[in-house]
């Protein structure tokens, strides 16, 4: 699926997803990824059950720095609930979590990034 909206210069954009990979700002990434406003990095998480404070430590640090206020979590093919303890941990760093399926998270990220919002996406590959 092509997901290319107009996004401010220098911001990451999720161009496509599926077959276990993502294309973000022209670069192919195999497996799950963390998409920050200015970079995309590989992410070791393969299921929503593996989400933890440790797996989202980089997001927490970006929240502390004021770079991210909202984290979209692409839980895979279906949305799953996020444990209250993990929500509270990220909230203490100024980051609100919104879980959804990976496709919805990718599309929503692009819309919010185009609006210039302080958003990141943690996307489990599908």
CATH assignment at residue 118: 3.40.1230.10
Burial class (CB in 10 A: 0-12, 13-18, 19+), 75: buried
Instruction: For residue 10, name the pLDDT band (cuts at 50, 70, 90).
Output: confident
* In a domain? residue 8: no
Q: Is the dihedral of CA 18, 28, 8, 119 positive or negative?
A: positive
Q: How many CB atoms lie within 10 A of CB 16?
A: 15
Cα(126)–Cα(123) distance, integer angstroms? 9
* In a domain? residue 19: yes
What pLDDT digit, counting tens, does each position of 41-100 carry? 999 999 999 999 999 999 999 999 999 999 999 999 999 999 999 999 999 999 999 999
* In a domain? residue 113: yes
Tell me the whole-structure pTM to 2 decimals.
0.93
* In a domain? residue 27: yes
What DSSP designation does 54 have?
T
* In a domain? residue 7: no
CB 35 within 8 A of CB 121: yes
Segments forming the whole domain that contains residue 60: 14-123
């Amino acid at each position: 699926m092509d997901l290319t909206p107009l996004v401010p210069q220098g911001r990451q954009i999720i161009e496509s997803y599926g077959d276990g990979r993502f294309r973000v700002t022209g670069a192919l990434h195999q497996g799950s990824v963390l998409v920050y406003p200015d970079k995309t990095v590989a992410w070791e998480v393969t299921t929503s059950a593996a989400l933890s404070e440790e797996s989202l430590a980089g997001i927490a640090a970006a929240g502390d720095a004021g770079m991210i206020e909202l984290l979209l979590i692409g839980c895979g093919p279906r949305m799953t609930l996020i444990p209250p303890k993990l929500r509270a941990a990220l909230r203490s760093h100024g980051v609100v979590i919104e879980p959804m399926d990976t496709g919805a998270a990718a599309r929503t990220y692009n819309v919010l990034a185009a609006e210039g919002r302080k958003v990141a996406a943690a996307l489990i590959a599908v």
